[in-house]
Amino acid sequence: MAARANLTDALIEARSRTFELVADLSDQQMIGPHLDIVNPPLWEIGHVAWFQEKWTLRHLRQRKPILEGVDSLYDSAAISHDTRWDLALPRRDKTLGYMQQVLAGVISGIEGVTLDQNQEYFHLLPLYHEYMHSEALTYTRQTLAYPAPELRVAHSKGPSGAGPLIGDAELPGGRFYLGALPDEPFVFDNEKWAYPVDIAPFKIARAAVSNAEFAEFVEAGGYARETYWSPAGWDWRTGAKAEHPVYWERGEGGRWRRRHFDQWVPLEDHLPVIHLNWYEADAFCRWAGRRLPTEAEWEMAASGPGIGSRPGPTKSRFPWGDDEPTAERANLDWRAMGCIPVGALPGGDSVYGCRQMIGNVWEWTADDFKPYPGFVVDPYKEYSVPWFGDHKVLRGGCWTTRPGLIRNSWRNFYKPDRRDVLAGFRTCACEF
Protein backbone atom coordinates (compact mmCIF):
# COMPACT_ATOMS: atom_id res chain seq x y z
CA MET A 1 0.00 0.00 0.00
CA ALA A 2 1.18 3.54 -0.67
CA ALA A 3 1.92 5.90 2.18
CA ARG A 4 -0.65 8.59 1.40
CA ALA A 5 1.45 11.56 2.55
CA ASN A 6 4.53 10.32 0.69
CA LEU A 7 2.57 9.82 -2.52
CA THR A 8 0.99 13.27 -2.26
CA ASP A 9 4.38 14.87 -1.66
CA ALA A 10 5.88 13.02 -4.63
CA LEU A 11 3.08 14.09 -6.98
CA ILE A 12 3.35 17.74 -5.91
CA GLU A 13 7.15 17.71 -6.19
CA ALA A 14 7.08 16.14 -9.65
CA ARG A 15 4.65 18.75 -10.98
CA SER A 16 6.72 21.52 -9.38
CA ARG A 17 9.83 20.22 -11.18
CA THR A 18 7.97 20.18 -14.48
CA PHE A 19 6.94 23.80 -13.95
CA GLU A 20 10.53 24.78 -13.10
CA LEU A 21 11.87 23.19 -16.27
CA VAL A 22 9.86 25.60 -18.45
CA ALA A 23 9.38 28.60 -16.16
CA ASP A 24 12.04 30.77 -17.80
CA LEU A 25 11.14 29.95 -21.40
CA SER A 26 9.45 32.53 -23.59
CA ASP A 27 6.21 31.76 -25.41
CA GLN A 28 8.24 31.37 -28.59
CA GLN A 29 10.64 28.96 -26.93
CA MET A 30 7.71 26.96 -25.60
CA ILE A 31 6.93 26.06 -29.20
CA GLY A 32 10.46 25.99 -30.58
CA PRO A 33 11.59 24.87 -34.02
CA HIS A 34 10.05 21.87 -35.77
CA LEU A 35 12.51 19.00 -35.22
CA ASP A 36 12.24 15.25 -35.58
CA ILE A 37 13.72 14.43 -32.19
CA VAL A 38 11.98 16.70 -29.68
CA ASN A 39 8.48 17.88 -28.82
CA PRO A 40 7.30 21.46 -28.40
CA PRO A 41 7.69 22.07 -24.64
CA LEU A 42 4.17 23.52 -24.51
CA TRP A 43 2.79 20.28 -25.93
CA GLU A 44 4.97 18.13 -23.68
CA ILE A 45 3.81 19.65 -20.39
CA GLY A 46 0.17 19.42 -21.49
CA HIS A 47 0.73 15.78 -22.41
CA VAL A 48 2.09 15.07 -18.92
CA ALA A 49 -1.11 16.39 -17.33
CA TRP A 50 -3.30 14.62 -19.89
CA PHE A 51 -1.62 11.30 -19.13
CA GLN A 52 -2.26 11.74 -15.42
CA GLU A 53 -5.85 12.71 -16.03
CA LYS A 54 -6.37 9.75 -18.36
CA TRP A 55 -5.11 7.07 -16.00
CA THR A 56 -5.95 8.42 -12.54
CA LEU A 57 -9.04 10.56 -12.98
CA ARG A 58 -10.69 9.07 -16.05
CA HIS A 59 -9.63 5.41 -16.04
CA LEU A 60 -9.44 4.79 -12.29
CA ARG A 61 -12.11 7.20 -11.03
CA GLN A 62 -14.33 7.28 -14.13
CA ARG A 63 -14.45 11.07 -14.37
CA LYS A 64 -15.18 13.06 -17.52
CA PRO A 65 -12.36 14.96 -19.29
CA ILE A 66 -11.60 18.39 -17.85
CA LEU A 67 -11.06 19.93 -21.30
CA GLU A 68 -13.27 19.24 -24.28
CA GLY A 69 -11.39 17.50 -27.09
CA VAL A 70 -8.27 17.03 -24.96
CA ASP A 71 -7.49 13.61 -26.46
CA SER A 72 -7.09 15.19 -29.89
CA LEU A 73 -4.35 17.41 -28.46
CA TYR A 74 -2.23 15.24 -26.21
CA ASP A 75 -2.67 11.54 -26.97
CA SER A 76 0.84 10.66 -28.14
CA ALA A 77 -0.26 7.27 -29.49
CA ALA A 78 -2.77 8.90 -31.84
CA ILE A 79 -1.17 12.22 -32.71
CA SER A 80 1.69 12.13 -35.20
CA HIS A 81 4.86 13.74 -33.92
CA ASP A 82 5.15 15.92 -37.01
CA THR A 83 1.77 17.55 -36.35
CA ARG A 84 2.36 18.64 -32.74
CA TRP A 85 3.57 22.11 -33.77
CA ASP A 86 0.37 22.69 -35.75
CA LEU A 87 -2.18 21.79 -33.07
CA ALA A 88 -4.47 24.42 -31.59
CA LEU A 89 -2.84 24.06 -28.17
CA PRO A 90 -4.17 26.05 -25.22
CA ARG A 91 -2.12 29.09 -24.35
CA ARG A 92 0.64 28.79 -21.80
CA ASP A 93 -1.45 30.11 -18.89
CA LYS A 94 -4.35 27.80 -19.68
CA THR A 95 -1.99 24.83 -20.06
CA LEU A 96 -0.46 25.52 -16.64
CA GLY A 97 -3.95 25.92 -15.19
CA TYR A 98 -4.98 22.56 -16.67
CA MET A 99 -1.92 20.93 -15.11
CA GLN A 100 -2.80 22.37 -11.71
CA GLN A 101 -6.43 21.34 -12.02
CA VAL A 102 -5.52 17.74 -12.85
CA LEU A 103 -3.07 17.52 -9.97
CA ALA A 104 -5.59 19.00 -7.52
CA GLY A 105 -8.16 16.44 -8.61
CA VAL A 106 -5.71 13.58 -8.13
CA ILE A 107 -4.64 14.73 -4.67
CA SER A 108 -8.19 15.33 -3.47
CA GLY A 109 -8.99 11.72 -4.30
CA ILE A 110 -6.15 10.45 -2.11
CA GLU A 111 -7.24 12.29 1.04
CA GLY A 112 -8.88 10.00 3.52
CA VAL A 113 -8.49 6.95 1.25
CA THR A 114 -6.42 3.80 1.67
CA LEU A 115 -5.21 2.82 -1.78
CA ASP A 116 -5.26 -0.81 -2.80
CA GLN A 117 -2.60 -2.20 -5.15
CA ASN A 118 -4.59 -1.40 -8.31
CA GLN A 119 -5.31 2.16 -7.20
CA GLU A 120 -1.70 2.70 -6.23
CA TYR A 121 -0.55 1.50 -9.66
CA PHE A 122 -2.63 4.10 -11.49
CA HIS A 123 -1.23 6.87 -9.30
CA LEU A 124 2.39 5.77 -9.68
CA LEU A 125 2.22 5.22 -13.44
CA PRO A 126 1.61 8.95 -14.18
CA LEU A 127 4.17 9.94 -11.55
CA TYR A 128 6.93 7.91 -13.18
CA HIS A 129 5.76 9.04 -16.61
CA GLU A 130 6.22 12.64 -15.44
CA TYR A 131 9.70 11.78 -14.17
CA MET A 132 10.61 10.56 -17.65
CA HIS A 133 9.25 13.66 -19.32
CA SER A 134 11.19 15.94 -16.99
CA GLU A 135 14.32 14.29 -18.37
CA ALA A 136 13.01 14.76 -21.91
CA LEU A 137 12.41 18.46 -21.24
CA THR A 138 16.02 18.73 -20.08
CA TYR A 139 17.53 17.21 -23.21
CA THR A 140 15.11 19.24 -25.30
CA ARG A 141 16.63 22.37 -23.78
CA GLN A 142 20.08 21.02 -24.67
CA THR A 143 19.02 20.19 -28.22
CA LEU A 144 17.58 23.66 -28.77
CA ALA A 145 20.53 25.44 -27.09
CA TYR A 146 18.30 26.96 -24.43
CA PRO A 147 19.94 28.02 -21.14
CA ALA A 148 20.32 25.46 -18.38
CA PRO A 149 17.15 25.32 -16.28
CA GLU A 150 17.10 27.09 -12.94
CA LEU A 151 16.02 24.50 -10.41
CA ARG A 152 15.58 24.49 -6.65
CA VAL A 153 17.92 21.60 -6.04
CA ALA A 154 21.07 21.34 -3.95
CA HIS A 155 23.70 21.85 -6.60
CA SER A 156 27.11 20.23 -6.45
CA LYS A 157 29.81 20.18 -9.11
CA GLY A 158 30.87 16.78 -7.91
CA PRO A 159 33.90 15.68 -5.93
CA SER A 160 37.00 17.77 -6.57
CA GLY A 161 40.07 15.96 -7.77
CA ALA A 162 38.20 13.00 -9.22
CA GLY A 163 39.70 11.80 -12.48
CA PRO A 164 39.74 8.69 -14.63
CA LEU A 165 39.09 5.13 -13.53
CA ILE A 166 40.87 2.65 -15.74
CA GLY A 167 40.79 -1.12 -15.94
CA ASP A 168 38.24 -3.88 -16.05
CA ALA A 169 36.28 -5.77 -13.47
CA GLU A 170 36.46 -9.54 -13.94
CA LEU A 171 33.18 -11.35 -13.49
CA PRO A 172 32.93 -15.12 -13.10
CA GLY A 173 29.68 -15.41 -15.02
CA GLY A 174 27.24 -18.16 -14.11
CA ARG A 175 23.49 -18.36 -13.61
CA PHE A 176 21.86 -14.94 -13.27
CA TYR A 177 18.25 -13.80 -13.01
CA LEU A 178 17.75 -11.03 -15.56
CA GLY A 179 14.87 -8.65 -14.93
CA ALA A 180 12.81 -7.43 -11.99
CA LEU A 181 12.03 -9.66 -9.03
CA PRO A 182 8.33 -10.00 -8.17
CA ASP A 183 8.62 -8.15 -4.87
CA GLU A 184 9.41 -4.84 -6.60
CA PRO A 185 6.64 -2.39 -5.63
CA PHE A 186 6.28 -1.06 -9.19
CA VAL A 187 7.83 -2.14 -12.47
CA PHE A 188 7.08 -1.57 -16.12
CA ASP A 189 5.97 -4.48 -18.27
CA ASN A 190 9.27 -4.80 -20.15
CA GLU A 191 11.09 -5.63 -16.86
CA LYS A 192 8.81 -8.58 -16.04
CA TRP A 193 9.87 -10.95 -14.79
CA ALA A 194 13.32 -12.12 -13.76
CA TYR A 195 14.30 -15.28 -15.60
CA PRO A 196 17.49 -17.36 -15.51
CA VAL A 197 20.26 -16.77 -18.04
CA ASP A 198 23.69 -18.35 -18.16
CA ILE A 199 26.51 -15.86 -18.59
CA ALA A 200 30.06 -16.75 -19.58
CA PRO A 201 32.92 -15.15 -17.62
CA PHE A 202 33.62 -11.64 -18.91
CA LYS A 203 35.51 -8.41 -18.25
CA ILE A 204 33.69 -5.09 -18.14
CA ALA A 205 35.15 -1.60 -17.78
CA ARG A 206 34.99 -0.23 -14.26
CA ALA A 207 33.89 3.14 -15.66
CA ALA A 208 32.12 4.65 -18.63
CA VAL A 209 34.18 5.82 -21.61
CA SER A 210 35.49 9.34 -20.99
CA ASN A 211 35.71 12.36 -23.28
CA ALA A 212 39.48 11.94 -23.47
CA GLU A 213 39.16 8.31 -24.52
CA PHE A 214 36.58 9.09 -27.16
CA ALA A 215 38.64 12.03 -28.44
CA GLU A 216 41.42 9.54 -29.24
CA PHE A 217 39.01 7.71 -31.51
CA VAL A 218 38.00 10.96 -33.22
CA GLU A 219 41.63 12.09 -33.65
CA ALA A 220 42.53 8.68 -35.11
CA GLY A 221 40.03 9.25 -37.92
CA GLY A 222 37.46 6.91 -36.45
CA TYR A 223 34.55 8.66 -38.13
CA ALA A 224 36.22 8.40 -41.55
CA ARG A 225 37.11 4.67 -41.46
CA GLU A 226 34.27 2.47 -42.66
CA THR A 227 35.96 -0.59 -41.19
CA TYR A 228 34.99 0.54 -37.68
CA TRP A 229 31.30 0.88 -38.43
CA SER A 230 28.46 -1.57 -38.89
CA PRO A 231 26.74 -1.27 -42.30
CA ALA A 232 23.78 0.52 -40.71
CA GLY A 233 26.12 2.70 -38.68
CA TRP A 234 28.12 3.70 -41.75
CA ASP A 235 24.92 4.57 -43.60
CA TRP A 236 23.92 6.78 -40.67
CA ARG A 237 27.37 8.42 -40.43
CA THR A 238 27.43 9.13 -44.14
CA GLY A 239 23.92 10.55 -44.20
CA ALA A 240 24.49 12.66 -41.11
CA LYS A 241 27.98 13.69 -42.29
CA ALA A 242 29.12 13.09 -38.72
CA GLU A 243 32.78 13.71 -37.95
CA HIS A 244 32.63 13.92 -34.14
CA PRO A 245 30.04 13.92 -31.33
CA VAL A 246 27.11 16.17 -32.04
CA TYR A 247 27.88 18.93 -29.53
CA TRP A 248 31.65 19.04 -30.07
CA GLU A 249 33.58 21.56 -32.12
CA ARG A 250 37.12 22.83 -32.48
CA GLY A 251 37.86 25.87 -30.35
CA GLU A 252 40.85 28.12 -29.93
CA GLY A 253 44.12 26.41 -30.77
CA GLY A 254 42.28 23.46 -32.27
CA ARG A 255 41.24 22.19 -28.85
CA TRP A 256 37.89 20.49 -28.50
CA ARG A 257 35.03 22.17 -26.74
CA ARG A 258 31.45 21.08 -26.24
CA ARG A 259 28.13 22.84 -25.96
CA HIS A 260 26.43 22.52 -22.58
CA PHE A 261 22.96 23.99 -23.08
CA ASP A 262 23.72 27.49 -24.46
CA GLN A 263 27.35 27.66 -23.28
CA TRP A 264 30.53 26.43 -24.96
CA VAL A 265 33.00 24.93 -22.47
CA PRO A 266 36.42 23.30 -22.90
CA LEU A 267 36.08 19.54 -23.26
CA GLU A 268 36.55 17.96 -19.84
CA ASP A 269 38.83 14.95 -20.24
CA HIS A 270 37.52 12.90 -17.35
CA LEU A 271 33.80 13.40 -17.79
CA PRO A 272 31.94 10.58 -19.54
CA VAL A 273 31.31 11.16 -23.20
CA ILE A 274 27.63 11.97 -23.63
CA HIS A 275 25.11 12.54 -26.43
CA LEU A 276 26.40 9.61 -28.46
CA ASN A 277 24.20 7.24 -30.39
CA TRP A 278 24.52 3.47 -30.47
CA TYR A 279 26.32 3.50 -33.81
CA GLU A 280 29.02 5.80 -32.44
CA ALA A 281 29.46 3.67 -29.34
CA ASP A 282 29.69 0.52 -31.44
CA ALA A 283 32.25 2.11 -33.79
CA PHE A 284 34.45 3.13 -30.85
CA CYS A 285 34.34 -0.43 -29.56
CA ARG A 286 35.46 -1.83 -32.93
CA TRP A 287 38.31 0.69 -33.05
CA ALA A 288 39.38 -0.13 -29.49
CA GLY A 289 39.07 -3.90 -29.91
CA ARG A 290 36.27 -3.97 -27.37
CA ARG A 291 32.50 -4.52 -27.42
CA LEU A 292 29.34 -3.29 -25.75
CA PRO A 293 28.03 -5.35 -22.83
CA THR A 294 24.88 -7.36 -23.22
CA GLU A 295 21.92 -6.46 -21.03
CA ALA A 296 22.54 -9.51 -18.88
CA GLU A 297 26.23 -8.71 -18.44
CA TRP A 298 25.45 -5.10 -17.56
CA GLU A 299 22.83 -6.07 -14.99
CA MET A 300 25.03 -8.74 -13.43
CA ALA A 301 27.91 -6.26 -13.13
CA ALA A 302 25.53 -3.80 -11.44
CA SER A 303 23.58 -6.21 -9.25
CA GLY A 304 25.83 -9.11 -8.44
CA PRO A 305 24.37 -12.53 -7.61
CA GLY A 306 23.56 -13.40 -4.03
CA ILE A 307 23.54 -9.94 -2.42
CA GLY A 308 20.47 -8.29 -1.01
CA SER A 309 17.99 -9.56 1.55
CA ARG A 310 15.24 -11.14 -0.50
CA PRO A 311 14.20 -14.79 -0.44
CA GLY A 312 14.75 -16.90 -3.54
CA PRO A 313 16.83 -15.43 -6.38
CA THR A 314 18.62 -12.42 -4.93
CA LYS A 315 20.42 -9.42 -6.33
CA SER A 316 20.68 -5.85 -5.20
CA ARG A 317 18.30 -3.13 -6.41
CA PHE A 318 21.28 -0.82 -6.85
CA PRO A 319 25.00 -1.40 -7.39
CA TRP A 320 25.79 -0.63 -3.73
CA GLY A 321 22.95 -2.70 -2.26
CA ASP A 322 19.28 -2.09 -1.46
CA ASP A 323 19.47 1.38 0.12
CA GLU A 324 18.04 4.28 -1.87
CA PRO A 325 20.40 6.48 -3.94
CA THR A 326 22.24 9.30 -2.20
CA ALA A 327 24.50 12.08 -3.47
CA GLU A 328 27.51 10.07 -2.29
CA ARG A 329 26.54 7.11 -4.47
CA ALA A 330 25.02 8.43 -7.69
CA ASN A 331 24.85 11.59 -9.79
CA LEU A 332 21.09 11.92 -10.26
CA ASP A 333 18.31 14.50 -10.04
CA TRP A 334 20.15 17.48 -11.61
CA ARG A 335 22.41 17.76 -8.54
CA ALA A 336 25.52 18.58 -10.59
CA MET A 337 23.60 20.12 -13.52
CA GLY A 338 25.73 17.90 -15.74
CA CYS A 339 28.12 14.99 -15.65
CA ILE A 340 30.87 14.46 -13.09
CA PRO A 341 34.21 12.64 -13.61
CA VAL A 342 34.01 8.93 -14.29
CA GLY A 343 36.22 8.20 -11.27
CA ALA A 344 33.96 9.99 -8.78
CA LEU A 345 31.64 8.46 -6.18
CA PRO A 346 33.38 5.23 -5.12
CA GLY A 347 30.59 4.83 -2.58
CA GLY A 348 28.35 3.77 -5.44
CA ASP A 349 30.55 0.91 -6.65
CA SER A 350 28.97 -2.46 -7.33
CA VAL A 351 30.18 -5.58 -5.56
CA TYR A 352 32.44 -6.19 -8.58
CA GLY A 353 33.98 -2.70 -8.45
CA CYS A 354 32.07 -1.07 -11.32
CA ARG A 355 31.46 2.64 -10.76
CA GLN A 356 28.54 4.91 -11.64
CA MET A 357 26.35 2.19 -13.06
CA ILE A 358 23.50 4.30 -11.70
CA GLY A 359 23.49 7.96 -12.76
CA ASN A 360 25.78 10.27 -14.74
CA VAL A 361 25.06 8.85 -18.24
CA TRP A 362 22.69 6.28 -19.67
CA GLU A 363 24.74 3.38 -21.04
CA TRP A 364 24.05 1.71 -24.36
CA THR A 365 24.07 -2.09 -24.36
CA ALA A 366 24.54 -4.45 -27.28
CA ASP A 367 21.00 -5.77 -27.24
CA ASP A 368 17.88 -4.95 -29.20
CA PHE A 369 14.88 -4.02 -27.09
CA LYS A 370 12.77 -7.18 -26.91
CA PRO A 371 10.26 -8.65 -24.47
CA TYR A 372 11.38 -11.05 -21.79
CA PRO A 373 9.99 -14.61 -21.87
CA GLY A 374 6.34 -14.72 -20.82
CA PHE A 375 5.85 -11.02 -21.50
CA VAL A 376 2.37 -9.70 -20.72
CA VAL A 377 1.47 -6.17 -21.74
CA ASP A 378 0.44 -3.72 -19.02
CA PRO A 379 -2.65 -1.47 -19.24
CA TYR A 380 -0.48 1.25 -20.78
CA LYS A 381 -0.11 -0.76 -23.97
CA GLU A 382 1.87 1.85 -25.87
CA TYR A 383 4.76 1.95 -23.41
CA SER A 384 6.82 -1.01 -24.67
CA VAL A 385 5.16 -3.02 -27.43
CA PRO A 386 5.45 -0.50 -30.32
CA TRP A 387 9.21 -0.21 -29.79
CA PHE A 388 10.24 -3.85 -29.61
CA GLY A 389 12.76 -4.84 -32.28
CA ASP A 390 14.05 -1.54 -33.70
CA HIS A 391 15.29 0.12 -30.50
CA LYS A 392 18.43 -0.56 -28.44
CA VAL A 393 18.49 -0.95 -24.66
CA LEU A 394 20.18 1.53 -22.32
CA ARG A 395 20.73 1.04 -18.62
CA GLY A 396 21.55 2.93 -15.45
CA GLY A 397 20.04 6.42 -15.64
CA CYS A 398 21.82 9.74 -16.07
CA TRP A 399 22.41 13.00 -14.21
CA THR A 400 18.79 14.13 -14.66
CA THR A 401 17.11 10.83 -13.77
CA ARG A 402 14.84 10.95 -10.72
CA PRO A 403 16.06 8.70 -7.87
CA GLY A 404 12.56 7.33 -7.41
CA LEU A 405 12.51 6.00 -10.96
CA ILE A 406 15.80 4.18 -11.44
CA ARG A 407 17.02 0.73 -10.36
CA ASN A 408 19.35 -1.90 -11.81
CA SER A 409 16.58 -3.70 -13.69
CA TRP A 410 15.15 -0.55 -15.33
CA ARG A 411 15.30 -0.66 -19.12
CA ASN A 412 15.46 2.44 -21.27
CA PHE A 413 15.25 2.21 -25.05
CA TYR A 414 15.94 4.45 -28.03
CA LYS A 415 16.58 4.02 -31.71
CA PRO A 416 20.29 3.55 -32.45
CA ASP A 417 20.59 6.88 -34.30
CA ARG A 418 19.46 9.09 -31.37
CA ARG A 419 22.21 11.51 -30.29
CA ASP A 420 20.10 13.97 -28.34
CA VAL A 421 19.51 11.73 -25.33
CA LEU A 422 21.84 11.77 -22.32
CA ALA A 423 23.66 8.58 -23.28
CA GLY A 424 27.21 7.26 -23.12
CA PHE A 425 28.55 3.74 -22.72
CA ARG A 426 31.05 1.41 -21.13
CA THR A 427 32.85 -1.45 -22.85
CA CYS A 428 33.68 -5.10 -22.38
CA ALA A 429 36.79 -7.04 -23.37
CA CYS A 430 36.19 -9.14 -26.47
CA GLU A 431 37.88 -12.18 -24.95
CA PHE A 432 38.25 -13.37 -21.38
HEC letters along 359-371:
CCCEEEEEEECCC
**pLDDT tens-digit map of 105-151:** 999 999 878 899 999 999 999 999 999 999 999 999 999 999 999 99
**Which band of pLDDT confidence, cut at 50, 70 and 90, is reported for residue 153?**
confident
| H helix or E strand, kind and range, residue 124 | helix 117-143
Gap between the Cα atoms of 380 and 391, Å rounded: 19
Q: Give 315's DSSP letter.
A: B
pLDDT at 381 over 90: yes
Strand segments, DSSP code E, in 80-237 are 168-171, 174-178, 195-199, 202-205
Measured on CA atoms in the order 354, 397, 425, 144, is the torsion positive or negative? Answer: negative
Q: What percent of the chain has pLDDT over 70?
A: 95
**pLDDT tens-digit map of 208-249:** 999 999 999 999 999 999 999 999 999 999 999 999 999 999
pLDDT at 54 over 80: yes
Region 65-78: mean pLDDT is 96
Contact, 210 vs 342, CB < 8 A?
yes
**Which band of pLDDT confidence, cut at 50, 70 and 90, is reported for residue 3?**
very low
Q: What domains appear along the chain, each with residue ranges and CATH number?
A: 4-143 (1.20.120.450), 155-432 (3.90.1580.10)
Please, what is the average pLDDT of the chain?
94
For residue 199, the tally of other CB atoms under 10 A from its CB is 19
- Lowest-pLDDT range of 6-10, 55-59, 162-166, 316-320: 162-166
Instruction: Report the pLDDT value the prediction gives residue 307, as an integer from 0 to 100.
Output: 42
Gap between the Cα atoms of 296 and 118, Å rounded: 30
pLDDT at 310 over 90: no
Instruction: Report the pLDDT value the prediction gives residue 112, as an integer from 0 to 100.
Output: 79
Pairing of strands 428-429, 423-424: unpaired
Pairing of strands 290-291, 362-368: unpaired
Question: Distance between alpha carbon 18 and the CA centroid of its chain, in Å?
Answer: 16
**Which band of pLDDT confidence, cut at 50, 70 and 90, is reported for residue 25?**
very high
First to last CA, the chain: 46
Task: Render the burial of 355-366: b for 16+ CB within 10 Å, e for the rest.
Answer: bbbbbbbbbbbb
Contact, 170 vs 203, CB < 8 A?
yes
237 Rama sector, left if φ>0, alpha if ψ -120 to 50, beta otherwise: alpha
Instruction: Report the pLDDT value the prediction gives residue 311, as an integer from 0 to 100.
Output: 44
Distances, alpha carbon 240 to alpha carbons 38, 220, 420, in Å: 17, 19, 14
**Which band of pLDDT confidence, cut at 50, 70 and 90, is reported for residue 183?**
confident
Q: In what order do the strands lie in the sheet with 362-368?
A: 411-414, 392-395, 362-368, 423-424
Contacts of 237 (CB under 8 A, 6+ apart): 223, 229, 279, 283
Contact, 159 vs 339, CB < 8 A?
no
Q: In what order do the strands lie in the sheet with 168-171?
A: 168-171, 202-205, 428-429, 290-291
**Which band of pLDDT confidence, cut at 50, 70 and 90, is reported for residue 97?**
very high
